Amino acid sequence: MNNSKPSHPQTCALSEAPAHQGTVYQNIGRVFEILSNCDADPIQVVALLRTTRSIVSGSAALLMVSDLDFVPGDLDIYTPLSQEESAMEIVQHHMNFEAKTSRMPRGYPDSSAIHKVHRLEKGHRSMNVIIVRGEDPTAALFHFHSTIVMNCLTAFGLYCAYPSLTFFDVGVVNLPVVLREVGVRRNAEECFDKYRNRGVTLVNDVRKLPRHSIHECRKDAECPHTLRSTVDAQGLYITLFEPTEAEAEYVARHRYATIWMMGGPMCGEKGTYFNNFVASIKASEITVSKGLTRYFRA
């Protein structure tokens, strides 16, 4: 890559998230195998992510960060709106997927980050190029139905927002998103059935899990009322591909990160309810919890 300005500070920023130990089964070989099983050339996928600031999420990303064993239905690529044309050019003319449908999102909440969904096929395999509003595709993760799918592959590595749940095949339901609209609820229920059949336990209340019987609301990383960020110490990031020097320098000056709170009924308190909150801001603004709280209250 030349020394011109890199165009993906959001996905580069995830490479600076703290890495956790004890994930020896994570490796490039597993990621490449999963991509290949989706009939997508791994090198081309990584190049797509790097060129268009896209991420891979959905069931394929869950396989990459867990030891679950199932065949993903398709490959989901999340792409910024400004990169839609470039991404579609790559997947059709370089990766040889054929465009089948293009539609506005259905089964997503109105306030989600999803703008449009392109469905493509190659033989018996399918790919969804999901266009997100704005320039930060990672923001879409936190509008998903549960924590079990709040994971992604970037051009530089793997990110898991809730490793202490995901590594035990457990997901907490994102209640404000699921309950907001009938269409969203119906789509979420279908997803819940799918993931339960794949061996995932889904709960509405994290306190129902034996390991979380002693729960500190708004403090525990798994609590839906804890304000989180993609650069906090509770997420897991595994670096697979180092950013170039030019990319690293640009990220240091311009990096953004996503902050979120799932919300829902307050733990152990009746009548107190919070909507979910998702935003992308300068990562320098959220390096300490005090800064997070100040931004959230503003």
List, as one string, the DSSP characters of 96-133: -PEEEEEE---SS-TTSSEEEEEEEEETTEEEEEEEES
Per-residue pLDDT band for 108 (boundaries 50, 70, 90) equals: low
Is pLDDT at 110 greater than 70 in this prediction?
no
| Contacts for 190 with CB less than 8 Å, ≥ 6 apart | none
Residues 17-22: what's their mean pLDDT? 45
The vertex-72 CA angle with 113 and 91, nearest 5°, equals 60
* Burial of residue 24, with CB atoms counted within 10 A of its CB: 0-12 exposed, 13-18 middle, 19 or more buried: exposed
- CB-CB contact of 136 with 256 (8 Å): yes
Closest CA to 143 of 215, 267, 231, 57: 57
- Region of poorest pLDDT, from 37-41, 106-110, 242-246: 106-110
Pairing of strands 201-203, 170-172: parallel
DSSP codes joined into one string, 138-187: GGGGGGSSBGGG-EEE-SSEEEES-HHHHTTTEEEB-HHHHTS-HHHHHH
Q: What is the mean pLDDT of residues 48-65?
A: 95
Mean pLDDT of the chain: 83
pLDDT of residue 214: 78
CATH architecture, domain 9-297 = 2-Layer Sandwich (3.30)
Token duo for residue 71: 């065949």
13: pLDDT strictly greater than 80: no
All structural domains of the chain with their residue ranges: 9-297
Which pLDDT does position 12 carry in this prediction?
Answer: 55
Question: Closest Cα partner for 166 from 132, 206, 127, 128?
Answer: 206
Asked if residues 267 and 205 have their Cβ atoms less than 8 Å apart, the reply is yes
For residue 39, what pLDDT is reported? Answer: 96
Per-residue pLDDT at 215: 81
Report how far residue 108's alpha carbon sits from residue 188's, in angstroms, rounded to the nearest whole number.
9
pLDDT at 251: 67
pTM of the model: 0.87
Question: What is the torsional sign of CA 48, 52, 58, 61?
Answer: positive
**Poorest-pLDDT segment among 82-96, 190-204, 242-256:** 242-256
User: In which band, very low, low, confident or very high, does the pLDDT at 165 lie, cut at 50, 70 and 90?
Assistant: very high
**Using CA atoms, how far apart are residues 98 and 129, in angstroms rounded to an integer?**
12
| C-alpha span between 6 and 9 (Å, rounded) | 7
**260 alpha carbon, distance to own chain's centre:** 12
Do residues 80 and 134 touch, judged by C-beta distance below 8 A?
A: yes
Reported as a pLDDT band with limits 50, 70 and 90, residue 163 is very high
pLDDT for the residue numbered 245: 85
Confidence of residue 5 (pLDDT cuts 50, 70, 90): very low
